[in-house]
Every structure is written in C-alpha cells, then in structure tokens.
Structure 1
Amino acid sequence: MSDRRLPARYLLPVTGFILSGIMTVIISGISTVMALGFSRMALGAWPIAWISSWIIAFPTVLVVLPIVRRLVARIVAPA
C-alpha cells in the first residue's frame, strides 16, 4: 500500500490552510453572532464572513508563520 500523504514541502501551506480555516470559522462566527445576535440572519451571514476572512487570513498566515517560527526559536529552547 502506497503512502498517499503529501510531500514534506507542503507542510507550510497545508498547516496555514488548516490553521487559518479553523481560526477564521471560529472568530467570524463569534463576531457575526455578537454583531447580529444568534439568529437566522447571523447563520446566513456567517459563511460569507468566514470566506471573506479566510481569503485574507490564509495568505497572511503563509507570510507570518515562518517569521513567528523564527521568533519563537529565539525565545524558546529546543526540546
């Protein structure tokens, strides 16, 4: 049986994709409910808010994550 996983070179984009997706779905959901209250209107607006924020968050994470990793490596001793 072959290994169907992506090559290691895709670590950053896949990490960024999943991380930004999870973060934006949670944050946009909270923000939408806070702005509109828990209602059908909020549930309808949430996917639009989520996709809009994800479009910005994903490329931002791709740029920022390597910088954060280098900064953290200077602050935290290796295991």
Structure 2
Amino acid sequence: MLPAKYAPVLFGLILSGLMSLLVSGISTYRAVGFVQGFAGLWTSAWLTAWVVAFPVVLVVAPLARRAVAWLVGSRP
C-alpha cells in the first residue's frame, strides 16, 4: 500500500492514463481506421498523450476543484 499523501498524484496518474487511453484510441481510429498495426499506432499515441496529460492533470485539478467549489457556492 502507498501512503495516503500520494493519493492526489495516484489519482492524477490513473485519471490521465484512462482518459488519454480513451481519447487517443478514438483519435487514432478516426485518423486511420481499424488498419493493420492499429494497436501499435494507438499505443504510441497514448504514451505520447499520457506524458502530456499527467502533468497537466496535476496542475489543472486544483484549479478545477476551486472552480467547482465556487460554482456550487461552497469553499474549498
């Protein structure tokens, strides 16, 4: 088990991984269709996207939490 202090980073890692997997898969399919070598293209696109998405999620998540708190009228 990991210490609880790593929960936000682990959440960001899992969230960015799953979202970039989904989005890159859809984008790859739309760009080339289901061709031979699709899995390799998708994997390459996913890893590139994840490298960008993970740090972005870590930076944007606190801002999104504050925006949601403001929109629902509560304090973070």
TM-score by length of 1: 0.85
Aligned Cα root-mean-square deviation (Å): 1.3
In 2: Cα distance, 1:22 partner to 1:37 partner: 21
Q: How does 1:44-59 map to 2 (within 5 A)?
A: 44-59=40-55
Q: Unpaired segments of 5 or more residues in structure 1? A: none
Shift of 1:44: 1.9
Structure 2 unaligned runs (5+)? none
Helix, strand or coil at the partner of 1:40 = coil
Shift of 1:39: 1.5
Q: Distance in 2 between matches of 1:40 and 1:77?
A: 51
Q: What amino acid sits opposite 2:8 in the alignment?
A: L
Is 1:67 the equivalent of 2:66? no
The aligned amino acid for 2:62 is P
Given residue 51 of structure 2, which amino acid in structure 1 is its aligned partner?
Answer: I
Identity %: 49
SS of the equivalent of 2:45 reads: helix
Which whole-Å deviations, capped at 9, do the CAs of 1:6-51 have from their partners, x for residues lacking one?
2221121101000000000000000001000111232221100000
Alignment of 1:34-45 (within 5 A): 34-45=30-41
**Match in the other structure for 1:31:** 27
Show structure 1 runs of 4+ deviating over 3 A: none
The structure with the largest alpha-carbon Rg is 1
Aligned to 1:15: 11
